[in-house]
Amino acid sequence: MTRLLLRNFREVPDVALSASGIRIRSADGREVIDGSGGAAVACLGHAHPAVLEAIRRQIEKVCYVHTGFYVGEPVEALAEHLVGHEPGGLTHAYFVSSGSEGVETAIKLARQYALETGQPQREHVIGRRQSYHGNTLGALGAGGNLVRRPPYAPILPQASSHVSPCYPYREQRAGEDDAAYVKRLADELEAEFQRIGPNRVMAFIAEPVVGATLGCQAALPGYFKAVREICDRHGALLILDEVMCGLGRTGTLHAWEQEGVAPDIQVIAKGLGGGYQPIGGILAAGRVVEAIRAGSGIHRHGHTYAAHPVACAAALAVQQVIHEENLVEQVAIRGRQLETALKRRLGQHPNVGDIRGRGLFWAMELVEDRETKTPFAPELGMNGRVKLATYARGLACYPVGGTIDGVRGDHVLLAPPYITTEDEIETIADLMAAGIDDAVKGLPR
Ligand code: PLP
């Protein structure tokens, strides 16, 4: 009997014994390709020697210091690496231990910015439906995840509301061109600002490429420019959550670079430490930090493990490898190969409604009927079935979405490590296609 409080008691996970490159080996002797890098985390794959060495060196020097007394050696270097040559005006970094803590930090920083600039009435966050920003109560409150929110709705912070995401596959109307759809979404956001009271909104939060809830859904061109304009006009901050899609995953270092806008606060996590250590954080615009420096001079936030020296050493090594080995460019190249490989095998599959993504961040939306876009019945748990069938063939993919509580659409997500070779991309696409077929064949008749 397990002593662990498992995520799913009907599905006991295998014990991982070792992992290297893009492969994980379990206690029963099986080897599986880590096709989703866990949950889009293992960007360098496993056991990269430069990262292991950096962790070893840091552990021997200083394992832990509290930021009230000291800052670890690699912490400033990591901040400098991330924002030192930042194109978007982000000038400062703050490190925590997870994406959720990063989102909490971002929301609290937006609130403190409102207070420091004499706008105490700004207390409302606008997010989007079918969005996920983390599992802590503040992050769940900002997120519009209909699968995870409802049980906790009564105890979530109330000062948030949600507008439609940019989800062309299901929500762009027949005959509506991209510009008209973007305008409709911008009008909806503007109307929400007006409903709340424009000077009561402290921030709008969104993922540039949505990961866990909409399966690698990028926005249409112009969407984020429109969002940026609305936030600026009403004096609200733009928080971009790049926990999943950031730090090279979509083929540029930051996903927002492809949108032509920069955020006021950016949340980072998974690709920051690549899973070698638990680490997340925020990057903040100079004007936000300056308001605090010139005002109270105190950032009213903190965690015991903020700026953990070993986590920062690991993240610095991960980011240096990405930079020195030109892995962001490599992601763009391999991403085009993965797109082609997936579309060749699954582009006409009767149960794959949409294949979408950017860089090495791709998802398939699973449907019962491709023509009508009818989702699978929720009780089938189709994304979970595909996950198990694909895993049985030797590929780990990540089930996301889920048709629950009015949210339509099961998705499975691929986010292979940036070091994945061309041959391995083909293998991943083969296994993915075979896994979907197996899952469909295994459906109850
Ligand atoms: N934000 C996004 C976009 C995420 O995808 C996630 C996790 O999947 C989080 C925040 C929360 O990160 P964590 O699980 O590290 O707390």
Q: What residues are in contact with ligand 1 under a 6 Å CB criterion? A: 39, 98-100, 103, 132-134, 207, 211-212, 241, 243-244, 269, 280
- C-alpha of residue 212 to centroid of ligand 1, in Å: 8
Are 138 and 167 in a shared domain?
A: yes
The identity of residue 120, as a single letter, is P
User: Which candidate, 284, 267, 204, places its Cα nearest to that of 237?
Assistant: 204
Are 40 and 56 in a shared domain?
A: no
CB count within 10 Å of CB 7 equals 7
Nearest CA to ligand 1 atom 9: 134
Pocket test for ligand 1, best of 104, 133, 209, 272 (most atoms within 8 A of CB): 133
State which of 290, 324, 358 marks the end of a domain.
Answer: 324
Answering whether pTM is above 0.95, one says: yes
- C-alpha of residue 209 to centroid of ligand 1, in Å: 13
- C-alpha of residue 105 to centroid of ligand 1, in Å: 13
User: Is 4 part of a structural domain of the chain?
Assistant: no
Alpha-carbon gap, residue 354 to 364, rounded angstroms: 6
**Which atom of ligand 1 is nearest the CA belonging to 100?**
16
Residues with Cβ within 8 Å of residue 432, at least 6 apart in sequence: 35, 342, 345, 346, 364, 390, 395, 397, 412, 414
- C-alpha of residue 307 to centroid of ligand 1, in Å: 18
Range of the domain at 246: 51-324
Are 250 and 297 in a shared domain?
A: yes
Burial class (CB in 10 A: 0-12, 13-18, 19+), 317: buried
* Total number of domains in the chain: 2
Kindly report, residue by residue over 187-246, the tens digit of the pLDDT. 999 999 999 999 999 999 999 999 999 999 999 999 999 999 999 999 999 999 999 999
pLDDT along the chain (445 residues), means of 10: 84 93 96 98 98 98 96 96 86 98 98 98 96 95 85 88 95 97 98 98 98 95 98 98 98 97 98 98 97 95 96 98 98 98 98 98 97 92 96 96 73 98 98 98 93
State which of 274, 292, 324 marks the end of a domain.
Answer: 324
User: Which candidate, 164, 97, 92, places its Cα nearest to that of 127?
Assistant: 164
Kindly report, residue by residue over 318-340, the tens digit of the pLDDT. 999 999 999 999 999 999 999 99
